[in-house]
Amino acid sequence: MNNYHTHSKYCVHGYEDIKEYVKEAKRLHMEELGFTCHIPLEKTFLESTYYKDIMLNANQYNERIQKGRESRMSYLDIDNYLNDLKEAKEENKDIKILSGFECEYDETNKEYVKEIRNKVDYLSLGLHHVFKDGKLYDYTKRVVVSKDTYREFNYDDFKVYAEAAINGMKSGLFKIFVHPEYFIDGIEEFNDLCVELTKEMVEASIENHVYLEINTSDYFKAARRNRKLNYPRNEFWKVVGMYKDAKVIIGTDAHKPERVGDFQFDSISKIIEEYHLNVSKKLEL
């Protein structure tokens, strides 16, 4: 099995140099290892008028977003990150190293993502927030924020996520849609709307040749924080299993070298078998 979802010290919440992750992947005899540090948001996000408005009008959000900022590399670090990856490729002929980013995608950052796409081997679509019609939909904090709004999510807000996901997949810029069920984090009922949106996203993934990722990082996070598992979510993967052409890949979302190969085979194989998922071991670029 190979892993195409790896962060490093460049994401400030990740740890260790790229070479430490490579060392671990080689110890596990992986053939390929893909790096996907979070896309820096300074340009489109932090300098956006929306963001400035939010900063002025919602102090509560201000504090939260400042913490959120710490999970991403600075725009100035892009070249260092890419140089480290280039070096890792050159130094390691016995494992294929792939360069990438985990990216947000919505109407406001399309051009920027296109620019970033040209610098790497592939991009992963990882939606944590979406800008739409002057509002920020934050799927991490489960809130909608605008100049004069600050409210908790309701089910209708999931449509915004699905729409951004589908547009992202249609853009042709992404190879993997990571933790696709992120929009339902922590919700109790996977209702008819969730089923409908999942179907639409799966169909877009098939049409646009994007892999859907079963992300194993929450086994680790849920255990550490002593809370319920948010993903993988069975109801979501049951819908995916209804489509035999949907391509699935497993990602460990490693933020530490020791998690590079944390595929959680025992738990994951049950889901794969039960819903007859079509899992690829190698990413076709």
Which amino acid, 187?
Answer: I
CB closest to Zn ion, residue no: 126
CB 104, min distance to Zn ion, A: 9
Provide the strand spans (E) within the chain. Answer: 3-6, 32-38, 96-103, 122-125, 129-132, 135-138, 143-146, 149-152, 176-177, 211-215, 247-251, 278-279
Nearer to Zn ion, 146 or 211 (CB): 211
CB 38, min distance to Zn ion, A: 7
CB 140, min distance to Zn ion, A: 9
CB 148, min distance to Zn ion, A: 29
- Order across the sheet with 211-215: list the strands: 3-6, 32-38, 96-103, 122-125, 176-177, 211-215, 247-251, 278-279
Nearer to Zn ion, 84 or 213 (CB): 213
CB 147, min distance to Zn ion, A: 27
Nearer to Zn ion, 102 or 181 (CB): 102
Tokens 């993903």 — which residue? 231
CB 76, min distance to Zn ion, A: 21
Q: List, in sequence order, the alpha helices (H) in 70-147.
A: 78-91, 110-117
Polymer length of the chain: 285
Nearer to Zn ion, 58 or 112 (CB): 112
Nearer to Zn ion, 58 or 125 (CB): 125
Count of C-beta atoms within a 10 Å radius of residue 142: 15
Nearer to Zn ion, 135 or 179 (CB): 179
Rounded CA separation 133/58 (Å): 18
Count CA within 13 A, CB hemisphere, residue 201: 33
CB 183, min distance to Zn ion, A: 12
Helical axes 192-207 vs 158-170, angle rounded to 10°? 10
- Beta bridge pairs of residue 252: none
Structure tokens at 154: 């309701």
Nearer to Zn ion, 84 or 104 (CB): 104
Binding interface with Zn ion (CB under 5 A):
102, 126, 253
Q: Kindly report the backbone phi and psi dihedral angles of residue 254, in degrees, each rounded to the nearest multiple of 5, phi listed first.
A: -75, 130
